Structure formats: C-alpha cells, structure tokens
Amino acid sequence: MQHVALSIFDKELCLPFFDRLTELFHEHHHSEEQDPDGYESLLYRVYRPYKPEMLDMIDGWMGLEERSWRAETQREVLLSLYAIRYPDTLLIESLTDKARSDIRRLSAYLHFTHHTYSIWDDDTRKGLGKLGIDIPEMREADPFIYGAYVSSIELLKDVAPFTCFLEHDVPRQRLFQSALAAYGRES
C-alpha cells in the first residue's frame, strides 16, 4: 500500500507543511485543550495487562463521555488490543457495533497501546486533505478508512525531512497527527 501511495504522492504540496511541522505540533499538542502533561502521563500509565480503568483514563484525556458498554463489549475491545498488529486494521471489522460506534474512542485506545496507530481526529483528516491525501469523513470505525488514515501518516513520517523530527517524549505518529490537526484547522 505504501508503495502505491508513494507513486501518487505530491511531495511539493507537503513542503510548506514540513517546513512548519514542529511549530504546528506545538500549537496543537501543547495547547491547554490537549493537556500535554495528561498525554505524557498516559504513555506511562497504560500498559499490559490492560484494564478497564486504563480505558477510563484515556476517555478522560480525550474528553469522552463514560462508556456505556456491556461487560462482553469491554472484554472484546481489551482482547483486540492484545491481538492487533500494525498495519492491520481489519480486526476492527470483527468488533461488535457498539465497540465500533466511535472511531475517536477506539483509535485512542489503539494509540495508547500501540503508538503506530494514530488518534482519529477530523482536523487531522482535513490536514491530510490539504496535502492531497483525501480521507472520507467517518464516525463509526471503518477499518479501510482508518487504515488509509494511519498509513498516510506513516507515509508522511517516511518522506519528511529530518528537520521535522523532535527528540522528545512524543511518539512520531502523535507528532505528525498533532501537526496535521493544526494544519487542517487553518483556513
């Protein structure tokens, strides 16, 4: 998929974004709304064996309302977090409707347990669109759309110049996803 994506990738369109990537990252990730300390804390507080309380912490940081899931749904999601391996997203298809009903929530669980999966965010999607990478809107988790979203961010990581890469304690997917979100919000 990455090879196909590279053949239609417009690097020129990305240059203004790459030039400002670190500034855009700071604008989004270090905003009060994003609570960067809370984010960093989750990097350390979410680990195996995964527990419902860890999902609660992620929900809290994301500002999501409390999950109204049955115990089986919760168990199903927790088990899927062990099973999934990047770049697979098809596993999402096997989840029940309730678990798939909110891609923001599900992608956040995936991100904090496997950094290679990015948090779904509509501003980030718009940011990708400005780079010529059109990803459809989504509320319920669609494995193909989410797969395209994640691998597009991964692709950007591959082609970005070294000046984009900060050395601090933020996974690179978060670095790019945050910068894209700030970029997507700009008119």
Partner 1 sequence: MADTEVVESYPTNFETWIEEFNEWQTRIGFDPSWLGDYRFDIKFDWDTAGDEIEFGDFEGMPKWNRRMQIPQQNIMDAIITMVSVQGDTEFASVEQQNHLLDTAPTEYDKKSALRIMCEEQRHGWQMAYLLCTFFGEQGVREAAKLLERNAQEGTRILGSFNEPIDHWLDFFMFTHFIDRDGKYQLKMLSTSSFKPLAASMGPMLKEESFHLGTGANGLRRIVKQGVIPCALVQKYVNKWVSTGLDLFGTDDSTSAQWAYVYGIKGRYDERETAESADRDHLNEASRDLYFQELREEMGRISKARKEGEPELFIPSDKFRRGIGKYAGKNFTVDGEPFDGSDHEWEEYLATVLPTEEDEERLVNEYMKQEWIQYREWKGN
* Token code pair at residue 153: 């961010």
Q: Closest distance between partner 1 and the C-beta of residue 42, in Å?
A: 11
Distance, in Å, from the CA atom of 2 to the CA atom of 79, rounded to the nearest integer, reads 28
Distance, in Å, from the CA atom of 109 to the CA atom of 56, rounded to the nearest integer, reads 10
Residue 86 in the binding site for partner 1 (CB under 8 A)? yes
Q: Closest distance between partner 1 and the C-beta of residue 68, in Å?
A: 28
Distance, in Å, from the CA atom of 13 to the CA atom of 35, rounded to the nearest integer, reads 30
Q: Closest distance between partner 1 and the C-beta of residue 48, in Å?
A: 6
Question: What track of x and - describes contact with partner 1 for positions 107 through 136 (by CB under 8 A)?
Answer: -----xxxxx--------------------
Stretch that binds partner 1, among 26-34, 42-50, 64-72, 126-134 (CB under 8 A): 42-50
Name which position in 19, 72, 140, 169 contacts partner 1 (CB under 8 A): 169
Where do contacts with partner 1 occur on this chain (CB under 8 A)? 11, 43-44, 46-48, 86, 112-116, 161-163, 165-169, 171-172
